[in-house]
Amino acid sequence: MDNTAAKAVTTGTDGASAEHVKCLILGSGPAGYTAAIYAARANLKPIMYTGMQMGGQLTTTTEVDNFPGYPEGVDGTAMMGDLEKQATRFGTDVRFGMATAVDFSGKVKKVTIDNEKVISADAVILATGATAKYLGLESEEHFKGNGVSACATCDGFFFKDKVVAVVGGGDTAAEEATYLAGLCKKVYMIVRRDELRASKAMQKRVFNTKNIEMLWKHQTKELKGDKVVESVDLYKNKGEADETIVNIPIDGFFLAIGHTPNSDIFKDYLDTDETGYVKTIPGTTKTNVPGVFAAGDLQDHVYRQAVTAAGTGCMAALDAERYLGELE
């Protein structure tokens, strides 16, 4: 087996040297690395650009307990380190860099890295993920990983039998609150309006769960605590004549106010849904542009798990391999 690092061809168009590669992968979460493992093993000699957050969202969590094959759980950062080793073992050229622009208009796809270098590719796998939205509070940033999380299925277990709060009123918040209610003593839902945005079915589940308490028309002012979150100050009826501030003791604070798919630079070429998720042909990772494939959270607002991202990363590499095979 050829284990040498992927070698790109210098084409030297318009005086500047441009690099050409068969298969370019953008993003270094479970989707990107799994695509890289499969693409490298298929001898596509992939180059991967990691993005600014090497390893993706899992590096912002502590322990990953729900990825099959780790009976004792695994540290998120360590797991992504292992995936990187596996991808490079088969010859993926992993590079630190951020895609800042793309041109998918031609048969050969062009991607600009860090606003300067242009790399062209016959097939591109997009695995740039999504970013959880945060409220933007200083205290929230301070307690990230110490009581503040944006993923109940990743971190909920650490709050077993404790009291937590979930911010948001959409389907994600409702889902996370009911999930946490199965683990925690009590779950507060902090909702800024007097109704939920979540579907009626999810609302029913929330209202039928005894240990969820709704805090309608509440907004977060600040988190309090020494080393870890101990309580939260909330505005009640913010901006109204009867505005008050209440303090609620909690151990965990979960953000569920939505995710932003990292698709901005692709939008001129790729079909996205109204929230920006890249659309793929059902049952495949093919986008509307032949030769461009999307995997992981960039194209999935429903499951958003490491294992499902890895699954679609594998699919993307297989789809790319078939596409490249047909080109030849």
Neighbour count for residue 189 (Cβ, 10 Å): 28
The smaller minimum CB distance to ligand NDP, of residues 132 and 163, is found at 132
Site for ligand NDP contains 185 (CB under 6 A): no
The smaller minimum CB distance to ligand NDP, of residues 162 and 197, is found at 197
Binder of ligand NDP out of 41, 162, 197, 238 (CB under 6 A): 197
What Å distances lie between residue 23 and 73, 139, 181, 293, CA to CA?
32, 42, 44, 11
The site that binds ligand NDP (CB under 6 A) totals a number of residues, namely 17
Would residue 70 be called left, alpha or beta, if left means φ above 0 and alpha means ψ between -120 and 50 degrees? beta
The smaller minimum CB distance to ligand NDP, of residues 41 and 197, is found at 197
Binder of ligand NDP out of 46, 169, 225, 311 (CB under 6 A): 169
Please state, in angstroms and rounded to a whole number, the distance separating the CA atoms of residues 149 and 156: 9
Stretch 217-256: interaction string toward ligand NDP, x if CB under 6 A: ----------------------------------------
Q: Which of 275, 276, 228 is nearest to 252 (CA)?
A: 228
Pick the catalytic residue from 23, 93, 154, 319: 154
Q: Give 119: exposed, middle or buried? Use CB within 10 Å, 0-12, 13-18, 19+.
A: buried
Pick the catalytic residue from 151, 171, 184, 300: 151
Stretch 286-305: interaction string toward ligand NDP, x if CB under 6 A: ---------------xx---
Q: How far is the CB of 167 from ligand NDP (least distance, A)?
A: 6
Do 45 and 321 touch, CB atoms closer than 8 A?
no
**How is residue 143 annotated by DSSP?**
T
Site for ligand NDP contains 276 (CB under 6 A): no
Please state, in angstroms and rounded to a whole number, the distance separating the CA atoms of residues 251 and 188: 11
Q: Which residues bind ligand NDP (CB under 6 A)?
A: 135, 167-173, 175, 192-193, 197, 257-259, 301-302
Instruction: Indicate which residues carry an active-site annotation.
Output: 151, 154-155
